[in-house]
Amino acid sequence: MRLLVTGSRGQLGRALQHAAPKHGHEFFGYDLPELDITDPAGVQAAVAGVRPDAVINCAAFTAVDAAEKQEAAALAVNGTGVTNVARAAEAAGALLLQLSTDYVFDGKADRPYREGDPAKPISAYGRTKLAGERAAELARRHLILRTAWLFGDGANFVAGIRRQIDAGAKTLRVVSDQRGCPTYTVDLADTLLRLLTTSAQGVIHVVNAGNATWFEFAQEIVRQLGSDVEVVPISTADGARQASRPASSVLDTSELRRILGSELAPWQDALKRYLAER
């Protein structure tokens, strides 16, 4: 299968570049500056040139707090940009696989979110990613993967904690009232590529098994690194971030398990492999 991947130098794009050949796929990666998905002509030319079987859109405006003051800029990438990619994929007869987020939910549910639950984003970032989900539907063959709390090759929460420990930090203050699903990009990429070989369409939740608060996530990072740094719980209000975050955006993966017959490994196991590889 010929795969065209936008945002190919991001965390997931890098994982896909590594995993694609193992699954027998050809990988064609594009990122800034050679391809800007807000440029419809550029997107059309890239897709027409590759003639892919599937277009995987990993390109996104991911600065959650910055999006509060730059919502138009975020929407240009996360919404209008997806429209450009969807139209190009449709013209090429390719499947569009669009990456989305747990932040399309408001976090007020008392159970993990299922694919059919109403999306009620509470941040500019969430609103623009939801616009991207709607735009992806312009491609008749589309698959929207909602995922969460990514860590992999690039800037991420785990790398940030490790960097602070290496710099000699004695105490880490971490939010304890937001719960989600830490997800390793290597596992996500492998599952994404497996889904491409099925007839799955629509929305699917893909995250590592289990869930945690950022505080619990940090505690496990510290434990696995063998550090004695103290992790101190703080509230979201204490963190003073610009964008609102869902209090609990845990994603239900029953549909993924139904399609593939399995789910991703527990996030603690994924974290162990991530740290070992570095």
What distance in Å separates the CA atoms of residue 15 and residue 160, rounded to the nearest whole number? Answer: 19
Tokens of 246: 């869902």
Q: Which residues contact 228 (CB under 8 A, 6 or more apart)?
A: none
- Which of 30, 103, 125, 184 is catalytic? The answer is 125
| Whether residue 113 lies in the annotated active site | no
Q: Compute and round to an integer the Cα radius of gyration of the chain.
A: 18
Helix 267-276 to helix 214-225 angle, to the nearest 10 degrees?
A: 40
**Which sign, positive or negative, has the C-alpha torsion 253, 176, 240, 223?**
negative
Partners of residue 202 on adjacent β-strands? 143
Cα distances (angstroms) measured from residue 210 to each of 52, 88, 216, 231 = 34, 36, 12, 21
The catalytic residue positions are: 125
